[in-house]
């Protein structure tokens, strides 16, 4: 009997079992919280966990310029603001300070680009694009763009990618079971097993 192979198989299965136990204890709680947050956001009268109302409006305007609504749904339809608010208040709290710094940088750029303006959400779309072009190489732009893309293409259970609009746009199949193709290294692994 090949004890080395049996030991590897046992350790692999044991490791997978421990991982599944950990994930099963963690995931339902996170998913339940995300679902409840998404439901309250859809019900109207949203209370944000991290964003202020002004920050939410500014990030919504920014994300709508990154992924606009045209003949396909955009960032607003994908619920990107609520995704980002949820993630920043739960999973990715260490990004709160950089996001606040990004809002400060955006407001400073708005004041430089559109004298007298105080909010990115309150300026015209053409002015928003001018502000974004001026910020394009800054960390603030990268942070906002990153959260926009994550909210648009991420897992819908976290409050973004509503109705899987991002996945549908790129043709991502929502299959929950993926099987790797067998290659030369494991093509004969199952041979002789019954």
Query: Strands, DSSP E only, in the chain?
Result: none
For residue 186, report the phi and psi dihedrals to the nearest 5 degrees: -135, 15
Distance CA 113, CA 95 (A): 26
What is the reported pLDDT for 173?
Answer: 82
102, 139 Cβ separation under 8 angstroms: yes
What is the reported pLDDT for 172?
Answer: 86
Distance CA 121, CA 174 (A): 34
pTM over 0.85: no
Would you call 126 exposed, middle or buried from its count of C-beta atoms within 10 A (0-12, 13-18, 19+)?
exposed
> Which pLDDT tens digit goes with each residue over 144-169?
999 999 999 988 888 898 999 999 98
82, 37 Cβ separation under 8 angstroms: yes
Q: Which residue has the tokens 């608010």?
A: 85
Q: How many CB atoms lie within 10 A of CB 89?
A: 16
Distance CA 179, CA 191 (A): 18
117, 123 Cβ separation under 8 angstroms: yes
What is the reported pLDDT for 133?
Answer: 96
> Which helix or strand (DSSP H or E) is residue 122 part of?
none
Q: Which tokens in the block code for residue 7?
A: 């030991």
Residue ranges of the chain whose pLDDT lies below 50: 11-12, 14-28, 30-35, 37-43
Distance CA 26, CA 1 (A): 38
What is the reported pLDDT for 2?
Answer: 54
What is the reported pLDDT for 194?
Answer: 59
30, 151 Cβ separation under 8 angstroms: no
């Amino acid at each position: 009997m090949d004890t080395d192979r049996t030991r590897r198989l046992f350790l692999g299965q044991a490791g997978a079992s421990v991982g599944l136990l950990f994930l099963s204890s963690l995931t339902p709680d996170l998913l339940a919280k995300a679902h409840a947050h998404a439901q309250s956001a859809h019900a109207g009268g949203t209370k944000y966990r991290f964003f202020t109302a002004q920050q939410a409006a500014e990030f919504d305007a920014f994300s709508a310029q990154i992924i606009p609504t045209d003949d396909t749904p955009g960032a607003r339809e994908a619920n990107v603001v609520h995704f980002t608010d949820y993630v920043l208040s739960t999973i990715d709290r260490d990004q709160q300070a950089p996001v606040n710094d990004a809002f400060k940088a955006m407001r400073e750029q708005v004041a430089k680009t559109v004298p007298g303006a105080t909010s990115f959400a309150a300026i015209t779309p053409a002015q928003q694009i001018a502000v974004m072009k001026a910020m394009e190489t800054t960390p603030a732009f990268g942070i906002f763009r990153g959260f926009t893309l994550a909210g648009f293409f991420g897992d819908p259970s976290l409050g973004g990618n509503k109705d899987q609009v991002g996945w549908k746009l790129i043709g991502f199949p929502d299959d929950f079971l993926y099987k790797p193709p067998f290659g030369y290294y494991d093509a004969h692994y199952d041979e002789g097993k019954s």
